């Protein structure tokens, strides 16, 4: 078994072992789940150490034909785009389990769903066969449906149904595009990129555009882009906070990851649709920011801010240049860490107060100093302040945008100002003013909570101060993407 298969099947092995564990042994169930997520994270760390960032080709490739007549295969591989996402997926899954100690009912089912979700996410980032990619994409729907519908809030059933219907609707368009690509005689044994590149060379331009639109609808639901975002706010508000960490930190990145793959391989169609992509990106940035500004519910605010921050990713992809693509990949990592930390801290606060209304809080700096430190650093990072990873990512995207359209930087700047406005208001309401009577006896972060939040905040600060190594991880692959685009447009 190769190292990629070991990474992929580790959470699946955990699922099988949990199925055989009696439901009443909750401590053993938690221990096993933590063990397998930790092993997956350690394997991804080993993979990161062995990965050669100066090699743009697929690395650690595994290929086993499944159906030679149809050309389907068990094909795995990593490059500079998938490697950061693998690290993010395994890290956030481990953190989400650390934040799941308060789950008190159906503990076995909950941990099985988390491990199954990690299995699906890793499969999406590792798959190098379109059929395999689509299978793993759909696998993630099953555990998320139950995680939201079983362990969510009062409107959990509506939220889970909305999520599944939106995502399945997008998947239909993605499947149609995949079937359109499969009509051409693709060379099997390669990768997603080589297969799509060959197909694009044979397809007429109008068909390339239709295929890209289908992918845009499929991946746009997960990204999410306006107007395909309707499922997101309700799902985030109703989902348990550990699930929101994975939903915002990884699931949204799956959409950006897939869209980046197909845009690079269909650059002529992407160039024709570039004005649409730029409009959707900038509109999402402004629309998400304004809606986040209006929210009193903390989780709803972070949910709408995700639309705004993922709009930055879409803008970087739409720029179709090296700086923008580098910024998009870095922003995917930045948003995963920042949104994950915000949902984690808000969830911990909700456990203590049972309210998400920001107006109910004040002067938590005096009552919960450790919580305040973690929250303040995370909110600063979300604003894109220098010294945090969000600043580096936004700067790259801004440079990529200005290389194409200097005047659009005005809208980019307005979006950043809106983001700063509602996050500064959040800081003011949470940490200043007199201590309210109901907030005087709140417990500060415990060790496990401090560890989970410290890992994410530490990553945000470390990548902000020392971003070069992380940028280099993807730079060679992005340069190859840029060369492919230049050759075709």
Query: What gap in Å lies between CA 66 and CA 63, rounded to an integer?
Result: 9
Paired strand residues for 62: 76
Q: What is the pLDDT of residue 195?
A: 64
pLDDT of 434: 82
pLDDT of the residue at 328: 94
Compute the C-alpha angle 392/396/397, nearest 5°.
120
Q: What span, in angstroms and rounded, lies between the C-alpha atoms of 337 and 382?
A: 10
Taking CA atoms, 389 is separated from 214, 458, 463, in Å, by 32, 11, 5
Instruction: Check: CB of residue 196 under 8 Å from CB of residue 182.
Output: no
Q: Which residues lie below 8 Å from residue 202, measured CB to CB, with a gap of 6+?
A: 184, 185
Angle, nearest 10°, between helix axes 369-383 and 447-465?
Answer: 30
Tell me if 323 sits within 8 A of 315, measured CB to CB. no
- Average pLDDT, consecutive stretches of 10 residues, N- to C-terminus, the chain (489 residues): 92 94 91 95 95 89 76 85 94 93 88 95 91 91 92 88 89 88 61 63 84 92 86 88 91 92 88 92 93 91 92 92 93 94 92 88 87 94 91 92 84 92 92 81 87 94 92 92 81
> Would you call 184 helix, strand, or coil by DSSP?
coil
481, 264 contact by CB (below 8 A):
yes
At 76, is the secondary structure helix, strand, or coil? Answer: strand
Which residue's structure tokens are 């730079």?
475
- pLDDT computed for residue 266 by the predictor: 87
Q: Within 10 A of 294 (CB to CB), how many other CB atoms are there? A: 10
Show the DSSP H helices in 61-155 as ranges. Answer: 82-98, 107-126, 130-139, 141-151
Query: Alpha-carbon distance 203 to 213, whole Å?
Result: 15
> What is the rounded CA–CA span in Å between residue 333 and residue 376?
19
Tell me the two tokens of residue 174. 């993605």
pTM for this entry: 0.93
| Cα separation values, 445 from 344, 379, 425, 449, 484, Å | 11, 17, 23, 6, 49
């Amino acid at each position: 078994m190769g190292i990629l298969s070991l990474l992929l099947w580790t959470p699946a092995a955990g699922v099988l072992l949990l199925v055989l564990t009696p439901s009443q042994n909750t401590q053993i169930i938690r221990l096993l789940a933590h063990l397998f997520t930790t092993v997956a994270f350690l394997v991804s760390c080993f993979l990161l150490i062995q990965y050669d960032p100066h090699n743009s080709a697929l690395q650690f490739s595994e290929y086993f034909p499944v159906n030679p007549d149809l050309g389907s295969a068990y094909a795995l591989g990593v490059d500079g785009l998938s490697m950061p996402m693998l690290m993010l997926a395994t890290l956030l899954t481990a953190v989400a389990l650390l934040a799941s100690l308060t789950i008190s009912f159906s503990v076995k089912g909950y941990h099985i769903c988390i491990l199954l979700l990690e299995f699906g996410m890793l499969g999406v980032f590792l798959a190098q066969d379109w059929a395999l990619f689509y299978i793993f994409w759909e696998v993630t729907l099953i555990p998320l449906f139950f995680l939201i519908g079983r362990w969510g809030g009062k409107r959990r059933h509506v939220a889970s149904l909305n999520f599944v219907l939106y995502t399945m609707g997008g998947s239909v368009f993605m499947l149609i595009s995949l079937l359109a690509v499969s009509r051409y005689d693709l060379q099997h044994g390669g990768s997603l990129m080589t297969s799509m590149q060959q197909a694009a060379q044979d397809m007429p331009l109008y068909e390339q555009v239709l295929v890209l639109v289908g992918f845009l609808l499929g991946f746009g639901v997960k990204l999410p882009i306006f107007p395909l975002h309707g499922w997101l706010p309700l799902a985030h508000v109703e989902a348990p906070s550990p699930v929101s960490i994975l939903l915002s930190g990884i699931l949204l990145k799956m959409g950006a990851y897939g869209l980046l793959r197909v845009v690079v391989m269909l650059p002529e169609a992407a160039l024709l649709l570039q004005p649409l992509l730029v409009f959707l990106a900038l509109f999402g940035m402004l629309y998400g920011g304004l809606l986040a500004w209006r929210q009193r519910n903390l989780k709803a605010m972070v949910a709408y801010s995700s639309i705004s921050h993922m709009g930055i990713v879409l803008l970087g992809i739409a720029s179709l240049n090296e700086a923008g693509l580098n910024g998009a990949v870095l922003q995917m990592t930045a948003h995963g860490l920042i949104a994950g930390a915000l949902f984690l801290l808000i969830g911990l606060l909700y456990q203590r107060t049972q309210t998400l209304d920001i107006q109910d809080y004040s002067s938590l700096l005096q009552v919960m100093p450790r919580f305040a430190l973690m929250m303040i650093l995370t909110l600063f990072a979300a604003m894109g302040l220098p010294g945090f990873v969000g600043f580096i990512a936004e700067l790259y995207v801004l440079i990529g945008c200005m290389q194409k359209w200097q005047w659009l930087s005005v809208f980019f700047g307005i979006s950043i100002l809106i983001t700063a406005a509602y996050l500064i208001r959040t800081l003011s309401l949470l940490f200043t003013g007199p201590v309210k009577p109901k907030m005087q006896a709140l417990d500060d972060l415990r060790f496990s909570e401090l560890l989970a939040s410290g890992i994410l905040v530490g990553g945000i600060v470390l990548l902000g101060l020392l971003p070069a190594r992380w940028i280099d991880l993807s730079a060679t692959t992005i340069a190859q993407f840029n060369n492919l685009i230049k050759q075709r447009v």
